[in-house]
Amino acid sequence: MVSLVIIEDDEAIRNYLTALIAGSGSFNLAGTFPSAEAARTFFTEGLGDGVELVLTDIQLPGMSGIDFIAWLKPLRPELQFMVLSVYDDADRVFKALKAGASGYVLKNTPAARLIDALQDLQRGGSPMSSQIARKVVMAFQEDFTYVDPQASLTLREKEVLEHLSRGFSYKEIAAGLFISIETVRTHIRNIYEKLHAGNRSEALRKAGLR
């Protein structure tokens, strides 16, 4: 069975989780700890070498759950961490994920769903409560701003691109715009760089001209 430890300072919740995990038939409970410091000693002394999953609260006395994850993850990169917390604010969620947590569920999660989440974590998933997943999605959406691919192009570069879309050769573009072929080449290099394109077809596609 998968070996797991619990870090939770609230005794009533810790006892509830202990009974839930022990009765699940899916996990071997290797230890329960009221603080990150106690768990740190457990791992430092080599007693947690066989542990595969860590279920931890965030708000703990002394070292926080996030700081504990950040300390242990580099030492045991194969360990999977799940946060179990009452906090659903984006700041704590992202700090926990950046520290090394692969799952984040709220303490009001029903018992059966919590066991399912732990099993999902063990299988390589990243289980999250629906409220947490929504916050993650919204944060990414807020950071995204659409930028017109042609917005960074100069007027002349747009003219060159338009001629390219019509299938004109460098020589024909130069003649049509009354510039040298070398200048055409320079404009095209700049177009490729600004559009992050490797060739004519890709540049035209990214500019919406094909």
Domains of the chain, first to last: 2-143 (3.40.50.2300), 155-206 (1.10.10.10)
Q: What angle do CA 119, 133, 136 make, to 5 degrees?
A: 130
For the chain, strand residue ranges (E) read 2-7, 27-33, 53-56, 80-85, 103-106
pTM exceeding 0.75? no
pLDDT for res 145: 60
CA 83 to centroid of chain Cα atoms: 15
pLDDT for res 146: 58
**Gap between the Cα atoms of 112 and 208, Å rounded:** 49
Residue 103's alpha-carbon distances to 2, 27, 100, 124, 205, in angstroms, are: 16, 17, 9, 10, 38
**Gap between the Cα atoms of 71 and 68, Å rounded:** 5
Which residues, 6+ apart, have CB-to-CB distance to 173 below 8 Å?
A: 160, 163, 164, 184
**Gap between the Cα atoms of 51 and 168, Å rounded:** 65
Over the chain (210 residues), what is each successive 10-residue block's mean pLDDT? 94 95 91 96 94 96 95 94 91 90 92 93 88 77 64 88 91 92 92 87 82
